[in-house]
Amino acid sequence: MRKRTFLAAAAALLATAVFGAPAALAQSDYPDRPIQMIVPWGAGGGTDAVGRIFASILQEELGVPVNVVNRTGGSGVVGHSAIATAKPDGYTIGIVTIEIDMMHWQGLTDLTYKDFDFLAMVNADPGGVMVSADSDYETAQDLLDAIKSEPKGALKASGTGQGGIWHLGLLGWLLSEDLPPDQITWVPSQGSAAGITDMVAGGVDLVPSSLAEGRSMIEAGKVRPLASMSEERQEMFPDVPTLKEAVGSDWTLAVWRTVAAPKGLPDDVKAKLAGAVEKAYNSEEYQKFMADRGFGMRWAGPEEATEVVASDDESLGRVMKEAGLAAE
Amino acid sequence: MDILAQAAGLVFQPYVLLVIFASACFGLFVGAIPGLTATMATALLVPITFFMDPVPAIAAIVTATAMAIFAGDIPGALLRMPGTPASAAYVEDAYLMTQDGRGDEALGAVLVFSAIGGIFGTIVLVTTAPALAEIALKFSSFEYFWLVLLGLSCAIFVSPSSVTRGMIALLIGLFAATIGIDNPAGQPRYTFGNVELLAGVQFIPAMIGLFAVSEVLRSIVYSKERPKIDRSGKHTVFKRQWTNIRRYPIQMLRGSATGTAIGALPGAGADIAAWISYAVSKQFSRQKEKFGRGHVEGLVEAGASNNGAVSGAWIPALVFGIPGDSITAIVIGVLYVKGMNPGPTVFINDPQLIYAVFMVFFLANIIMLPLGWVAIKGASTLLSIPNRVLMPVILLFCIVGSFAINNSVFGVLLMLIFGVLGFIMEENDIPIAPAILGLVLGPMLEQNFITSMIKADGSFLAFFERPIAAGLGIFTIVVWSIPIILYLRRRWAGSEASPKEDLPQG
């Protein structure tokens, strides 16, 4: 019995190999085989969680298995390249994160957002300003006064690697206050959890990562949130003022995650995928999952998502150039 | 009492027990295949747990990871392919014991002492989690720097041959760890514009190459059949372990305690715990010379240590929502989804859920014994396969494992390069284990050193300014200087005392 199934599978495989080409042209029956979803960050992180919940809902929408593959390392370059260089047939999609707007400025890759077809933006988390609960700074204004009065580099901040997204978030804020980019020394860390832990241990003074990432420590009374880098207060942290309210700064930044495919998707495939992604976004499962995890909801369809990605590309590029983080 | 009864009611249901059993089998399977890690097992389980109640969901993950970490020792002992970096510390001893016909005893020791270490860690978790988590929170990069440095010093203690050769191996590992962009400055190093190299030397393919592929190469070059392994002694998996418990009670406790303590630190995990425990075990042993040559003592201590660390990692995770390793990072997400937000409040709001989780920990470590026995018995039949059949099969597994870690052919290439490197190293009597240590701890050392220097504005004194850091630093310097002082004293006195008698005892 087992042998027979094997033979059948082998025959099916052979048939796909032989007749595969014409089948790929007639896309009307898309999808007819498993879809691969590439996540450019490690298993266990926030992007991985979003990728996996999406995969499990898309699987029901599309009726074929959607397999999550973590392609990690190289500050996200490896995974993003794997998505962009895949065949644009709708059988490889991935989660593209805000790092795509940073890595090419750093000179790590030639890859930009233009190498992708964006299907939707499905999440965004605004940056924040957090200090340890035993810190002297009670408000963002206290902190800003200290930043201005202390000698250059006296205050230390952490939360991502050198030139990582939260580093840029802090730099953007400093530049918006007409402060030099090296007014605060950046201490590179492996992600915001490590940065927050280090801050509570007394290693650094502030962490500008998303409030959601500090949620458990905020609830445990170890971390004090001072501000949110968003236009409106966050639903989960109604008591935390926006940066505008707190110190009058116009700077905002949110890290987003998009579902994207390699550039050049056939129109009918793109329409079908985008529809499925929108349904998945609106599913009760996804909404509940994101609310429980404390991740911010953000919907943008293909065109709007591309616009947001393009405008962030420009503003992040400006900050990186001013801070001397962009490659020559 | 009432809470305990409620908790037991949540756990001892046919459905929950079935989930525990199924995920145990799943964990064993994933862990026994080199290249498939406990983290991967957890990530694969997450979508399934969405449809479960909180207790079975957590039970599935706890059981699968405990099993996967033990199962990583099976290919280590039988084929010299350690499943996890944590088992790499003692793979040499376990493998040589198998060659010696004592494979069942070696795996039995790892199994029993894994379970003991896991249970010890759980008891600590149940009784002192909040207090221990507070201490763990005091660790910043200064403290971790010293801890990692101590870990690296183990390279000298664990290498069976000369100190110089151990150093060479360590430096090879440290060099490999510098490749890539994931360093504190975010600068690509030794990547030559290659995108795959940006990610650096992935640990699993390198480890499979160094240990397993080099062994395959050697079997081909010397084309020797393994000595017939006597498998007549039938029930040796557990039988010898009573003797081991009676003979090594201190090792067992020391390993469990060290592992749990290191595991509770968010920045250190099972791998560094196993290495430190193995080195401690060797240093204080009466039979130092047997280490690395098929001796069970190191397995007892390091085996208990790495499972203790797995339980210990839950301490900061449950109390503060801080992930101790990549597995607890995933679990914290699941806890949020299930409405059991980690933090001090979870102990007050849902005590019955927390106690149910603790019960699952005990169950998982106990069920490990019978299932592990079956797995050992099943896997041992591998040894009756002749080399000419077994070696190609091993190579096949190596390739699959190296590919699976990142779904990339680059992993296979890395594995082959490190296989040849491992072969050359062993032909020249350079031990492999210290290279693995360098590869694992190198990035941590650099990260913690650079970030500490940035925080201290370049002042070395900062490494001694915080109390815990100062203690660890002085301890490290003492450990380093004792051999030098003893050497100088011997020279001074002109005596010809044998070095063994002079080594520090405390």
Domains in chain B: boundaries: 2-465
B71-106 as b/e, with b when 16 or more CB fall inside 10 Å?
bbbbbbbbbbbbbbbbbbbbbbbbbbbbbebbbbbb
What are the backbone dihedrals phi and psi of residue B432, each rounded to the nearest 5 degrees, phi first?
-90, -35
Given a cut of 50, whether residue A25 has pLDDT beyond it is no
Q: Does A70 touch chain B (CB under 8 A)?
A: yes
Given a cut of 80, whether residue B103 has pLDDT beyond it is yes
Closest residue by Cα to residue A240 from A225, A253, A221: A225
Across the interface, whether the CB atoms of A73 and B184 are under 8 A apart is answered: no
Name the residue of chain A whose CA is nearest to B265's CA: A197
Across the interface, whether the CB atoms of B466 and A202 are under 8 A apart is answered: yes
Residue B411 distance to chain A (closest CA, Å)? 11
pLDDT given at position B445: 92
Closest residue by Cα to residue B274 from B83, B140, B419: B83
* Residues A58, A281: Cα–Cα separation, whole Å: 10
Arithmetic mean of pLDDT, A70-78: 84
Closest residue by Cα to residue B490 from B479, B505, B503: B503
Pairing of strands A92-97, A254-262: antiparallel
With cut-offs at 50, 70 and 90, classify the pLDDT of residue B494.
low
- Fold type of domain A128-247: D-Maltodextrin-Binding Protein; domain 2 (3.40.190)
Q: Does B198 touch chain A (CB under 8 A)?
A: yes
Q: Is the dihedral of CA A205, A211, A213, A214 positive or negative?
A: positive
* Structure token digits, residue B47: 């979508």
For residue range B154-212, list pLDDT tens digits in order: 877 776 677 888 889 999 999 999 998 888 887 889 988 888 888 889 888 898 899 88
Closest residue by Cα to residue A172 from B48, A163, A86: A163
Helix (H, G, I), strand (E, B) or coil at B148: helix
Note which residues in 223-282 of chain A have CB less than 8 A from chain B. none
Closest residue by Cα to residue A242 from A232, A257, A255: A232
With cut-offs at 50, 70 and 90, classify the pLDDT of residue B407.
confident
Which has the higher per-residue pLDDT, A46 or A307? A307
pLDDT given at position B226: 60
Q: Does B456 touch chain A (CB under 8 A)?
A: no
Other beta carbons less than 10 A from residue B409's beta carbon: 12
Given a cut of 90, whether residue B381 has pLDDT beyond it is no
With cut-offs at 50, 70 and 90, classify the pLDDT of residue A263.
very high
Residue A122 distance to chain B (closest CA, Å)? 18
pLDDT given at position B398: 85
Residues 6+ apart with CB under 8 A from B458: none
Q: Does B185 touch chain A (CB under 8 A)?
A: yes
Note which residues in 153-182 of chain B have CB less than 8 A from chain A. 180-182
Note which residues in 300-329 of chain B have CB less than 8 A from chain A. 319-323, 326-327, 329
Residue B141 distance to chain A (closest CA, Å)? 7
Helix (H, G, I), strand (E, B) or coil at A255: strand
Q: Does B405 touch chain A (CB under 8 A)?
A: no
pLDDT given at position B230: 55
* Residues A190, B184: Cα–Cα separation, whole Å: 9
For residue range B256-287, list pLDDT tens digits in order: 999 999 988 887 788 888 888 998 898 888 88
Arithmetic mean of pLDDT, B346-350: 76
The model carries a pTM of 0.81
CB A295 within 8 A of CB A255: no
The C-alpha R_g of chain A, in whole angstroms, comes to 22
Residues of chain A in contact with residue B324, where contact means CB-CB under 8 angstroms, are none
Q: Is the dihedral of CA B56, B59, B61, B64 positive or negative?
A: negative
Other beta carbons less than 10 A from residue A220's beta carbon: 23
Which has the higher per-residue pLDDT, B85 or B504? B85
Residues of chain B in contact with residue A215, where contact means CB-CB under 8 angstroms, are 321, 341
Please give the C-alpha separations between residue B219 and each of B18, B229, B391, B408, B437, in angstroms, as whole numbers: 43, 16, 8, 27, 25
Given a cut of 80, whether residue B84 has pLDDT beyond it is no
* Residues B138, B467: Cα–Cα separation, whole Å: 10
CB A241 within 8 A of CB A141: no
Across the interface, whether the CB atoms of A53 and B333 are under 8 A apart is answered: no
pLDDT given at position A26: 45
Cβ-nearest to B195 among A109, A190, A293? A109
Residue A300 distance to chain B (closest CA, Å)? 24
Query: What separation, in Å, do the N-terminal and C-terminal C-alpha atoms of chain A show?
Result: 64
Which has the higher per-residue pLDDT, A310 or A44? A310
Q: Does A131 touch chain B (CB under 8 A)?
A: no
pLDDT given at position B228: 58
pLDDT given at position A70: 85
Which has the higher per-residue pLDDT, A238 or B321? A238
Note which residues in 134-153 of chain A have CB less than 8 A from chain B. 153
Q: Does A311 touch chain B (CB under 8 A)?
A: no
Residues 6+ apart with CB under 8 A from B200: A73, A74, B177, B179, B180, B181, B182, B443
Closest residue by Cα to residue B334 from B32, B39, B57: B57
Q: Does A317 touch chain B (CB under 8 A)?
A: no
Across the interface, whether the CB atoms of B198 and A73 are under 8 A apart is answered: yes
Residue type, A162: Q
pLDDT given at position A29: 81
Residues of chain A in contact with residue B450, where contact means CB-CB under 8 angstroms, are 188
Across the interface, whether the CB atoms of A53 and B42 are under 8 A apart is answered: no
Q: Is the dihedral of CA A189, A192, A198, A202 positive or negative?
A: positive
Given a cut of 70, whether residue B232 has pLDDT beyond it is no
DSSP-assigned letters across all residues of B360-425: HHHHHHHHHHHHHHHHHHHHHGGGGS-HHHHHHHHHHHHHHHHHHTTT-HHHHHHHHHHHHHHHHH
Across the interface, whether the CB atoms of B46 and A49 are under 8 A apart is answered: yes
* A35-125+255-322 CATH pick, 3.40.190.150, 3.40.50.620, 2.40.50.70, 3.40.50.300: 3.40.190.150
The size of the A-B interface in CB pairs under 8 A is: 166
Across the interface, whether the CB atoms of B181 and A197 are under 8 A apart is answered: no
The CA-based diameter of chain A, rounded to the nearest angstrom, is 79
With cut-offs at 50, 70 and 90, classify the pLDDT of residue A174.
very high
pLDDT given at position B70: 86
Please write down the HEC assignment for all residues of B168-213: HHHHHHHHHHHCECCCCCCCCECCCCCHHHHCCCCHHHHHHHHHHH
pLDDT given at position A6: 45
Chain A contact probe: residue of B192, B265, B320, B350 with most A CBs at under 10 A = B320
Note which residues in 68-127 of chain B have CB less than 8 A from chain A. none
Given a cut of 60, whether residue B55 has pLDDT beyond it is yes
Q: Is the dihedral of CA A214, A219, A220, A224 positive or negative?
A: positive
With cut-offs at 50, 70 and 90, classify the pLDDT of residue B227.
low
Given a cut of 50, whether residue B506 has pLDDT beyond it is no
Chain B contact probe: residue of A37, A66, A83, A216 with most B CBs at under 10 A = A216
pLDDT given at position A275: 94
Under DSSP, the state recorded for B160 is S
Given a cut of 70, whether residue A131 has pLDDT beyond it is yes
Helix (H, G, I), strand (E, B) or coil at B266: coil
Which has the higher per-residue pLDDT, A70 or A126? A126
Given a cut of 70, whether residue A51 has pLDDT beyond it is yes
pLDDT given at position B81: 80
Arithmetic mean of pLDDT, A158-162: 88
Which has the higher per-residue pLDDT, A247 or B34? A247
Given a cut of 60, whether residue A5 has pLDDT beyond it is no
pLDDT given at position B51: 77
pLDDT given at position B499: 47
Across the interface, whether the CB atoms of A73 and B333 are under 8 A apart is answered: no
Helices (H), B202-350: 203-208, 214-222, 236-247, 249-264, 270-284, 296-312, 314-320, 326-337, 344-349
Note which residues in 163-192 of chain A have CB less than 8 A from chain B. 163-164, 185-190
Which has the higher per-residue pLDDT, A156 or B293? A156
Residue count (chain A): 328
pLDDT given at position B437: 86
Query: What separation, in Å, do the N-terminal and C-terminal C-alpha atoms of chain B show?
Result: 44
For residue range B415-469, list pLDDT tens digits in order: 999 999 999 999 998 988 889 888 888 988 999 999 999 999 889 999 999 999 9
Q: Is A76 left (phi over 0), alpha (psi -120 to 50) or beta?
A: left
Q: Does B336 touch chain A (CB under 8 A)?
A: yes
Cβ-nearest to B407 among A71, A162, A200? A71
Across the interface, whether the CB atoms of B343 and A77 are under 8 A apart is answered: no
The segment(s) of chain A belonging to CATH 3.40.190.10 are 128-247
With cut-offs at 50, 70 and 90, classify the pLDDT of residue B52.
confident
What are the backbone dihedrals phi and psi of residue A300, each rounded to the nearest 5 degrees, phi first?
-150, 130
Other beta carbons less than 10 A from residue A85's beta carbon: 13
CB B455 within 8 A of CB A156: yes
Pairing of strands A128-132, A184-187: unpaired
The segment(s) of chain A belonging to CATH 3.40.190.150 are 35-125+255-322
Across the interface, whether the CB atoms of A75 and B200 are under 8 A apart is answered: no
Which has the higher per-residue pLDDT, A7 or B418? B418
Under DSSP, the state recorded for B219 is H
Q: ipTM of this model?
A: 0.77
* Structure token digits, residue A293: 């995890």
Work out the angle at residue B236's Cα, subtended by the Cα atoms of residues B233 and B237, and round it to the nearest 5 degrees.
140
CB A194 within 8 A of CB B267: yes
For residue range B383-406, list pLDDT tens digits in order: 778 888 888 888 888 888 888 777
Helix (H, G, I), strand (E, B) or coil at A32: coil
Q: Give the HSE-up count for residue B107: Cα atoms under 13 Å, Cβ half-sphere.
A: 35
Share of chain B above pLDDT 70, in %: 94
* Residues A89, B307: Cα–Cα separation, whole Å: 45
Chain A contact probe: residue of B198, B335, B459 with most A CBs at under 10 A = B198
Helix (H, G, I), strand (E, B) or coil at A166: helix
Q: Which contacts of B286-290 are long-range, i.e. CB under 8 A and separated by 24 or more positions?
A: B288/B500
* Residues B333, A289: Cα–Cα separation, whole Å: 10
Given a cut of 50, whether residue A24 has pLDDT beyond it is no
B178-210 as b/e, with b when 16 or more CB fall inside 10 Å?
ebbbbbbebebeebeeebbbbbbbbbbbbbbbb
pLDDT given at position B486: 82
Under DSSP, the state recorded for A123 is E
* Residues B74, B368: Cα–Cα separation, whole Å: 13
Least confident of B27-31, B50-54, B468-472: B50-54
pLDDT given at position B498: 47
* Structure token digits, residue A98: 């805000």
Mean pLDDT of the residues in chain A: 88
* Structure token digits, residue A27: 């896309």
For residue range B326-343, list pLDDT tens digits in order: 788 778 878 887 878 787
pLDDT given at position A241: 96
